Amino acid sequence: MSFSPPPQPSDPWIRRFRPRPEADVRLVCFPHAGGSASYFHPLAQSPTLLPDTEVLAVQYPGRQDRRRERLLDSVPETADRIAEALAPFGDRPLAFFGHSMGAVLAFEVAQRLREGAIGEPRALFVSGRRAPSLHRRGTVHLLDDADLVGELRRAGGTDPRFLDDEELLAEIIPVVRNDYRAVELYRWTPTSPLSCPLTALVGDRDPQAPLDDVEAWRQHTEGPFDLKVFSGGHFYLNTHQRGVADVISKTLADRAQRPATARGNAR
């Protein structure tokens, strides 16, 4: 059996940690506020992830190799751009995994793709985030720099060494503030539910994502819904990479065994 050469992204939005041209499905990962594509490198290397799964990660503007680019402070605009960037990868089924702000973006991109040639993702995994239909007023983006750094320390997703380095902080704070502004000002526009399987993952001590709020993701799909609770806080997945990869692999394996539907990659 022969395989076509792996597609190359037409812009800098997509990172490929381990190209797998023979992959059956591509898992697209969406980082949290202030996060970068490299956050998902450990997941891409997980031994419990199915070998026929290729991990792609989204790189938002304003960080790492894109640090000189204009920041985007709108979830809808960012989702539009990501949906465009994924077009070259639509030759294989896609699955989405998003953490925190990334969960909202993954959901919004899935909404955009379902009406086009790519279609819905094979599965949607949303982590550490309440359902988009539940709006909660957020003010983190309005905090002064010192309080914003304190929020980052409490959340636990940023290396403390970065927060103690004044030069790095000068680069981090504008990006984090921008991302919080985007997700805190986001408002869900009611649409019909997706049809793909939706799995919500959360830490049992996550102050940003109470279990009842995470359970509400159920209403956003007509397909199977599952809720997976891990021990830990907002960044529970830092210590549960294998468990998260196992959930992803089992869901995708189960989905691959089901008959294809008429809606593109939602199969």
Q: What is the pLDDT of residue 148?
A: 87
| Closest listed residue to residue 43, CA positions, set 97, 110, 103 | 97
d(CA 188, CA 73): 15
Q: Are 24 and 55 in contact (CB under 8 A)?
A: no
pLDDT along the chain (267 residues), means of 10: 41 87 92 94 89 94 92 96 94 96 98 92 97 90 88 78 80 93 95 97 95 97 97 94 96 76 42
d(CA 62, CA 60): 7
Residue 74 known to be catalytic: no
The dihedral of CA 142, 169, 39, 233: what is its sign? negative
CATH class of 14-256: alpha beta
Q: What is the pLDDT of residue 258?
A: 67
| Closest listed residue to residue 133, CA positions, set 207, 204, 203, 213 | 213
**Residue 81: both structure tokens together:** 């751009």
Count CA atoms within 13 Å of residue 100 on its CB side. 25
Q: What is the pLDDT of residue 163?
A: 77
Q: Which residue out of 36, 234, 240, 249 is catalytically annotated? A: 234
Report pTM. 0.90
Q: Which residue out of 100, 220, 240, 249 is catalytically annotated? A: 100
Q: Are 255 and 94 in contact (CB under 8 A)?
A: no
Residue 234 known to be catalytic: yes
Q: What is the pLDDT of residue 169?
A: 84
